[in-house]
Amino acid sequence: MGTMSPIHWILVLLVVVLLFGVKKIPDFAKNLGIGIKEFKKAMKEGDKEAEAGTVAKTTIEQKPEKKDEPKA
């Protein structure tokens, strides 16, 4: 009962075809692929923003403070 045999997978595939129809399955797969692609793109952009924020923070912290100059 732990694993699915090939007969179980065939039955699942048959039920999916009966529920959604043969014409809707390629559209579903295409939309799923587009969604995954956009998700990966957003993850990469988030990583880039996080790295840019980290770099900016470290450069600000490393900048020496000048206390001797008079303020205008």
- pLDDT tens for the chain, 72 residues: list them: 578 899 999 999 999 889 888 888 889 889 999 999 999 999 999 888 877 776 555 555 555 556 666 665
**Helix, strand, coil percent content, the chain, rounded in steps of 5:** 75, 0, 25
Domain ranges of the chain: 21-53
**How far, CA to CA in Å, does 1 sit from each of 4, 7, 16?**
7, 13, 21
Total residues belonging to the chain: 72
CA distance 52 to 58: 10
Does the reported pTM lie above 0.75? no
